[in-house]
Amino acid sequence: MPQLISKFKLYLYLFFFIFLSSIFNYQILENYYDKFSLKNININGLSHKEKKKIQNELNKLKNINIFKLNEDQIIEKLYKFNFLENIYVNKVIPSSINVNISKTLILGKTIIDGNKFYIGKNGNFISTNLLSDQNNLASVYGNFRIDEYLSLIKILKKHDIDREDIKAYYYFKNKRWDILFSNNLSLMLPAKKVEESIKIYKKLLDNNNLINIKIIDLRVSNQIILTNNNE
């Protein structure tokens, strides 16, 4: 009988030891997850308005264990913000991440189906609701593809045409552009050989041959038609 009681005590002690050990281990595990769960998200490189929208989206990742959180999960959350161009994510142990972001260069503004959009260098039409107000942007009119507009901008930059001097771009169904400058000079470009036409405009500009001119018509190959302000 005494031997039976001894075994009973042994089992009882063993039971309490396992029970208390489990509670202790659970507390350690709970403290571990709490200490290394994501609590702070620091976003750099954006205005307050832009940052707030992104912050609200990334807050959905809070309380995830930082060791289980990878960069792809963060970038996936940011796909909807199509004004972003470069994203760098850095974990700061135990519970923070730094997100360094740069936004694309805005090259103009346009209206599509009655809604206002910015035109990004990254090839996206960007809702104006996503960004802070962008000042001194040229308006772009017509049913154009964004790559067609970016191609024109690339040519203008190549030949040192200052985009800040441009008030508006007009795109036509025959796939050609007119450019309206801030001095109200209008440059009419052909559908083809656009770069050659920009070179001609540049020569006229550099030689001061545009005094009192309101329209430069380069639509016809090998022809320069100038209209002055008095006509």
The CATH code that applies to domain 138-228 is 3.40.50.11690
Instruction: Render pLDDT for 170-188 as a digit per residue (tens, 0 to 9).
Output: 999 999 999 999 999 999 9
Determine the Cα–Cα distance for residues 227 and 222; give it in Å rounded to an integer.
17
Determine the Cα–Cα distance for residues 199 and 206; give it in Å rounded to an integer.
10
Instruction: Render pLDDT for 104-127 as a digit per residue (tens, 0 to 9).
Output: 999 999 999 999 999 999 999 999
Closest CA to 95 of 139, 65, 117, 130: 65
Torsion of CA 108, 110, 112, 114, to 10 degrees: 140
Instruction: Render pLDDT for 208-218 as a digit per residue (tens, 0 to 9).
Output: 767 888 999 99
Q: Is 160 helix (H, G, I), strand (E, B) or coil?
A: coil
CB atoms within 10 A of CB 177: 21
Q: Tell me which DSSP letter residue 164 carries.
A: G
CB atoms within 10 A of CB 4: 8
Tell me if 40-103 shares its fold with 138-228.
Answer: no
Higher pLDDT, 79 or 28: 79
pLDDT of residue 189: 97
pLDDT of residue 121: 95
CB atoms within 10 A of CB 187: 22
pTM of the model: 0.80
Fold of the domain built from segment(s) 40-103: Ubiquitin-like (UB roll) (3.10.20)
Instruction: Render pLDDT for 63-110 as a digit per residue (tens, 0 to 9).
Output: 888 888 888 888 888 888 999 988 899 989 888 999 999 999 999 999
Determine the Cα–Cα distance for residues 90 and 113; give it in Å rounded to an integer.
40
Annotated domain spans of the chain: 1-35, 40-103, 138-228
Determine the Cα–Cα distance for residues 144 and 154; give it in Å rounded to an integer.
16
